[in-house]
Amino acid sequence: MSDFRRSDYLFTSESVSEGHPDKVADQISDAIVDLFLSKDPEARIACETLTTTQLVVLAGEIRCKGVYENGAWAAGAKEEIEAVVRATVKRIGYEQDGFHWESFRFENNLHGQSQHIAQGVDAGDNKDEGAGDQGIMFGFATDETPDLMPATLYYSHKILERLAADRHSGAAPFLEPDAKSQVTLRYVDGKPVAATAIVVSTQHKAGYDTGAGEAELHAYVKRVVDEILPEGFLSDATAWHINPTGSFEIGGPDGDAGLTGRKIIVDTYGGAAPHGGGAFSGKDPTKVDRSAAYVSRYLAKNVVAAGLASRCTIQLSYAIGVARPLSLYVDTAGTGTVDDAALEAAVAKVAEEKLGGLTPKGIRLGLGLNKPIYQPSAAYGHFGRKAEGEFFPWERTDLVDALKAALA
């Protein structure tokens, strides 16, 4: 894989807020994952969510002790699921005529996991736990930002996180939950140096699309962006597009249907690195779409944190029902301090020693993924977050010394 970058170029990434309809769906799906894992760490969950005007629909396959076993629901389980879904929408902040946490119609179409899938995935007397599906997964890290993420995506996320925080605190009472951002940066010699375009579209209360209200909203957005971007990135040459379509009063699931897994580039690296194609939200950690993407990021981040490269991409591949990955690939795009093949061997060695290998079980146990830790990941990116307690363990940089020792 060669590095696509030139010495001077523009690159763009987008983000969407927690109130974007697709992100509402992602957060609901991950709230269900967390609910089930809180009951049974070995639960199997594949939960998809549809949101639209005054409607939330769940569909998918599950298996969970104390919730759904042997084809039957436990007493009160359906009611608890609905309560979790409504609480998630309430936390996001939807209390609108077209989508209200208390009054939307709810359908639960979850059902038992296929036995044909279970027999390939579950561990047995003569086999280790297999991957929950075939596929390719990528992890990536770059030294462009303190969190070792692509700068365009990093700042796109930060803008919307600030808007949401101000909305929740009351500092920006004119904002509603749905929003999108897009940041275009100029890169010189591989480093971001200036913002050439900023796009922010945010749902707002009535009266903030004309006159003084519009001016207040625009000034607020510009102030937030100025506080978030590095000093000197904004200039008179920066193009601004704030609510470029005009009014944005109708938003969220009332304005556009939402589905789990439709914002996978927002979830990962903003287009700055490959994506395997599989979504994360709504899946338990036996699904390598999720867990292997997390461990790939974990390994790539530690490579960059160790100073072994300024940019690192890692690919893993799996077959359904097969425990060990079919391949491991490391590419530093010419920025590595050692040969990529040597780094590949070191990564494999450290993963075996520190995680117990790159099998689904090794990843789950090594990173502590069998816990209700997923809903916070379902908005503002799964990567580039702060590892705190049990949350975001794939963002730790505790393999740095081991990687250096393996290459000594």
**DSSP-assigned beta bridge partners for residue 63:** 44
CB-based contacts of 345, cutoff 8 Å, min separation 6: 406
Give the pTM.
0.94
Show the 3-state SS of 109-155.
Answer: EEEECCHHHHHHHCCECCECCCECCCEEEEEEEECCCCCCCCHHHHH
Which pLDDT score, from 0 to 100, does residue 216 have? Answer: 98
In angstroms, how far is CA 390 from the centroid of its own chain?
16
Which pLDDT score, from 0 to 100, does residue 5 have? Answer: 61
| Domain limits, the chain | 8-16+152-250, 21-121, 135-143+285-407
Which pLDDT score, from 0 to 100, does residue 283 have? Answer: 97
Q: Do 135-143+285-407 and 21-121 fall under one CATH topology?
A: yes
Which pLDDT score, from 0 to 100, does residue 2 have? Answer: 46
CATH 3.30.450.20 for domain 8-16+152-250, yes or no, is no
- Answer whether 300's CB lies under 8 Å from 287's CB: no
- Answer whether 283's CB lies under 8 Å from 267's CB: no
d(CA 142, CA 336): 12
pLDDT in tens, the chain (408 residues): 445 567 899 999 999 999 999 999 999 999 999 999 999 999 999 999 999 999 999 999 999 998 998 889 999 999 999 999 999 999 999 999 999 999 999 999 999 976 645 555 555 554 467 787 889 999 999 999 999 999 999 999 999 999 999 999 999 999 999 999 999 999 999 899 999 999 999 999 999 999 999 999 999 999 999 999 999 999 999 999 999 999 999 999 999 999 999 999 999 999 999 999 999 999 999 999 999 999 999 999 999 999 999 999 999 999 988 999 999 999 999 999 999 999 999 999 999 999 999 999 999 999 999 999 999 999 999 999 999 999 999 999 999 999 999 999
Which pLDDT score, from 0 to 100, does residue 120 have? Answer: 53
d(CA 101, CA 86): 5
**DSSP-assigned beta bridge partners for residue 137:** 316
Residue 128 φ/ψ, nearest 5 degrees: -80, 165
The CB-side HSE value for 38 (13 A sphere, CA atoms) comes to 13
Would residue 309 be called left, alpha or beta, if left means φ above 0 and alpha means ψ between -120 and 50 degrees? Answer: beta
Residue 144 φ/ψ, nearest 5 degrees: -65, -30
Which class in CATH covers the domain with range 21-121?
alpha beta
Q: Is the dihedral angle over the CA atoms 38, 43, 49, 54 positive or is it negative?
A: negative
Does residue 254 sit in helix, strand or coil? Answer: helix
d(CA 354, CA 366): 7
- Answer whether 124's CB lies under 8 Å from 71's CB: no
Which class in CATH covers the domain with range 135-143+285-407?
alpha beta
- Answer whether 137's CB lies under 8 Å from 288's CB: yes
d(CA 32, CA 68): 13
- Answer whether 137's CB lies under 8 Å from 315's CB: yes
Which pLDDT score, from 0 to 100, does residue 131 have? Answer: 83
The CA radius of gyration of the chain, in Å to the nearest whole number, is 22
d(CA 54, CA 178): 15
Pairing of strands 55-63, 105-112: parallel
- Answer whether 41's CB lies under 8 Å from 370's CB: yes
* Catalytic (active-site) positions: 20, 22-23, 48, 61, 180, 248, 256-257, 262-263, 283, 287, 289
d(CA 388, CA 399): 17
Which pLDDT score, from 0 to 100, does residue 4 have? Answer: 52
Which pLDDT score, from 0 to 100, does residue 386 have? Answer: 96
CB-based contacts of 170, cutoff 8 Å, min separation 6: none
Give the burial class of 196: count Cβ atoms within 10 A of its Cβ; 0-12 exposed, 13-18 middle, 19 or more buried: middle
